[in-house]
Amino acid sequence: MKILRTPREMQQHAQALRAGGRRIGLVPTMGYLHEGHLSLIRLARKASDVVVVSIFVNPTQFGPSEDLDKYPRDFARDERMCEQEGVDIIFYPEAGDMYAPDASVCVVEENLSKVLCGAARPGHFRGVCTVVAKLFNLVLPDIAVFGEKDGQQLRIIERMVRDLNFPVRIIRGPTIRESDGLAMSSRNAYLAHEERRQACLLKRSLDKAELMYRELDIRESARLKESIKKAILHGPDARIDYIEIVDDKTLASVEVVDRPCMIALAVFIGKTRLIDNAVIGGEA
């Protein structure tokens, strides 16, 4: 397994691989890997000859009051996990190498990024799109794997690839969960014991809404959202950022679930912001 540290050596190595006819798969991460990341690596392995995992805590997607400095990091652990999964290359750059001091160009998606986490975290998806575009230019992947757990991010990246004609196929990886249903996330490490117990309320609330839709034929978004709200607020440390039901493609709010729709949640448990989602309706 190779560890490449600079954008230049990553790009040169990728160019050599492409010249040799090798098919490259990319799994972009911010490190502190868990089973969810490993599931994406396995999907990349099935679809490519060379698997590249990028590990980069991207400063441009964090707001001024967010957790950039305390975001969990453990490269030695990540390296061991990648090696065990048969990763071929880890791309592990420094922020100073990824962004010039006077960098003034970024990638902005102007529709899907305005709602949900985009409304709650201004500038977040500008940072995400910019760094993913840079990774595509450096790693030159044929395929890239992104998790369904970050549902809005996934759809924005797919739109960026379509609109900017990146020659990259996006593969969706299903959300991987703990035994109690909590979606795996590096930020779960922030949760204290009692907060961790309450965090499973996100999945329980989604399950309840899905049951209401499927078994009770409830289609009104307002009723489904109210059920989710009541379930989450059983947690004394829970504070809702948003509960939305949106069209699965456009992310526009819907009043009635009469097509594939995403139920999207962002909830603070204590000081930790967690997100989760489920797709219901139509052919979902």
Calpha distance 216→233 (Å, rounded): 23
pLDDT the model gives residue 207: 98
The CATH number of the structural domain formed by 186-277 is: 3.30.1300.10
Cite the DSSP H helix spans in the chain: 7-19, 35-47, 75-84, 95-98, 117-120, 124-139, 151-163, 193-199, 201-215, 221-232
pLDDT, mean of residues 64-70: 92
Q: Confidence band (pLDDT; 50, 70, 90) for 282?
A: confident
Residues with catalytic roles: 37
Check whether 264 has a pLDDT greater than 90: yes
Please state whether the predicted TM-score (pTM) of the whole model is above 0.85: yes
| Fold annotation for 2-173 | Rossmann fold (3.40.50)
Segment 72-95, tens digit of pLDDT: 999 999 999 999 999 999 999 999
Q: Confidence band (pLDDT; 50, 70, 90) for 283?
A: low
Sequence ranges of the domains in the chain: 2-173, 186-277
**H helix and E strand count, the chain:** 10, 9
Segment 9-65, tens digit of pLDDT: 999 999 999 999 999 999 999 999 999 999 999 999 999 999 999 999 999 999 998
Burial class (CB in 10 A: 0-12, 13-18, 19+), 147: buried
